[in-house]
Amino acid sequence: MQTGRAFPLFFDLDKKITAASAFRVSLVFWLIYSFVYLVLKGENVDYFGFENGNIAASVARGEGFADVMATGKQQPTAWMPLLYVYLLAGVFYLTGIKSTAALWMLSLIRCVVLAGGGYLAFKIGERFGRLQAVVCTLSFIGYMTGFSYIMVSNIFTEEWLMAVLLLLLVHQFILLFFNEHVSETYAAIVAALCALSSPILLAVWLGLFVIYVATGTLNHLLPQNWRAISHTTIAWKPTLVAIAAIVVIFFAWGIRNHYAMGKFIPLKSNMWMEVYLSNVMSQDGLLWKDVLHGNHPLTNQAARAAYMAQGEVDFLKAKEMAAKQYLADHPTDYLRKVARRFINAFGYTDMNQQATDWSEVSLKQHIRSLMVAFIPLLALLINLFTYRLQKPALTVMALVYVGCIMPYVLISHFSRYQFFAMGLQAVFVGLAFCIFVHRIQTGRFFPALISRKSL
C-alpha cells in the first residue's frame, strides 16, 4: 500500500533515507536528548535497575551472582536473568560500582541500543513501504521520548533494552518467514539474547519457532488464503543452531543454580513471587506499588529477614505453595483478576502504580495510559483489517505482541511490564498512521472535504 504524495518534500526525502541513515540520525538524537535530560533532571544515581544493580555490584566485586537484596550477605541468587546484570557488571567493573561514570557509560550504551531500535523499526516498516519505514522510525522515537522518565532516566531499569530485543526477535522471524537468508551466527545471537534476558521473550521465540516449522512443513495442506503466512522452505541450519544455543544456556545456568542453590532453575527463580503478589496479596490483580513495596524483600524488612533466614529457594517455595493454594481455592476470583489485568494491558494501563481517583490523574497520564494499551491495540486491529493475511510481517508482529503480553495478563501486570513491548507498539501505530493518511488522500475518509484530483 502506497500513501500518495500529499507531502512532496517529505516523500522525496524518504527515498534518500536508508536504515543505516536512520540509525545514524537516531543515534545523534538520543545522544543529545539523553545528555540534556540527565543534566536537567540531576537525579541520584543509586538505583541502576534495583535488583539488577545489586547483583551486578556483587559480580563486579568478584563475589559472584549473589546479594540480590543488598543485604551484604553473599547469598547466591537466580532472581534476575543474566543479560542485563552482566551488562551492568561490566560497566561497574570498568567505571566503578554505581558511580557517576557508570551512569554516563550506561547512558551511551543505551543511546546506541535505542538507535538500533530505530534501525529495526525502519527495517520492519520497510516491509510495508518506504514511507512506512520512516514513519515507524519516527513513531519509535516519539514513543520513547514520550516516556523519558523510564527510557532515558538514570533509574536504569531494563525497559529500553527489552523493547529493542523484542524488535530484534520480530526482525529475525520476518526474515525467516520471507525465506530470506539468516546466518547461523545471527540466529544464535538472537536466540541467546532472548534466553539470557527474559523467560517470556524465550517463550515467544520458541512459540514462533514452532509456528515457523509447522507452517513450512504443512504449507501444501493450508487453505490458499492462509498460505500467505507460510513459506516454502525451512532454514533448518540457523534455527537448529539457535535451539542449540538455548539448550546450552538453559542447562548451564540450571546446573549452576543446582550446585549453588540446591535447585535446578534454568532461567530465573521468582515467577511464583509474581503470582503470589498479584493474586494472593493484590485485591484486583494488579501489582500496585503498595503491594510490591509491602511484601518484597528489597523494600520490606520482615520479608527481607525471611528471605535471609530461609534462603531464596525456600523463601520462594513458600510463596509458590501459597499461590497454588489460592489458585485451587479461588479459581473464579483468579479469573476476575485476569480480566482486570487484560483491561490494564489492552485497554488502559494505570501509570500511577497505585489506586487513584481519576479526577486526580493528569491529562498527560491519561494519554500515556492509552498510548501503551488501547492505541496500540487499535492500531494493530486497523493493520490486520487492512492487510489481512497478505503481510507475513504483520502476522509475525501480531503473534509476538500477543505472546509477549498475555503471560503478564495471566501472571502479574503493572505499567513497567507494558513498556517492554513499547517498540513494537510504536511500529503498529506508525503503520496505522500511514493507513489513515492514505485513506484521507484517496477520499475514503472525509470525501466531501478532499478532492481526489487534488491529491
Show the 3-state SS of 345-402: HHCCCCCCCCCCCHHHCCHHHHHHHHHCCHHHHHHHHHHHHHHCCCCHHHHHHHHHHH
State whether residue 267 is helix, strand or coil.
coil
By the 8 A CB rule, do 174 and 396 touch?
Answer: yes
- Output the pLDDT for position 229: 60
Query: Helices 100-125 and 19-41: crossing angle, nearest 10°?
Result: 150
Closest CA to 144 of 423, 362, 351: 423
Can you say how many angstroms the Cα of residue 341 is from the centroid of all Cα atoms in its chain?
17
Amino acid sitting at position 58: S
111 pairs with which residues across the strands? none
Place of cell 558511580: 99
The residues near 108 (Cβ < 8 Å, ≥ 6 apart) are 31
* Torsion angles phi and psi, residue 66, rounded to 5: -160, 180
Amino acid sitting at position 372: V
By the 8 A CB rule, do 230 and 222 touch?
Answer: yes
pTM of the entire predicted model: 0.92
**pLDDT tens by residue, 348-369:** 998 876 666 666 778 888 899 9
Closest CA to 3 of 121, 135, 120, 124: 135
Cα separation, 262 vs 419, in Å, equals 34
Torsion-angle region of residue 341: left (phi > 0), alpha (psi -120 to 50) or beta? alpha
What would the DSSP string read from start to end of 197-227?
H-HHHHHHHHHHHHHHHHHHHTGGGS-GGGG
- Output the pLDDT for position 425: 98
Burial of 232 (0-12, 13-18, 19+ CB in 10 A): exposed
- Output the pLDDT for position 44: 63
Cα separation, 294 vs 314, in Å, equals 20
The residues near 168 (Cβ < 8 Å, ≥ 6 apart) are 120, 190, 193
- Output the pLDDT for position 7: 45
**Which triple of cell numbers denotes residue 49?**
535497575
- Output the pLDDT for position 15: 65
- Output the pLDDT for position 452: 39
- Output the pLDDT for position 333: 97
Q: Which residues of the chain have pLDDT under 50?
A: 1-10, 448-455
Exposure on the CB side of residue 143, measured as CA atoms within 13 A: 34
To 5 degrees, how large is the angle CA 91–CA 93–CA 97? 80
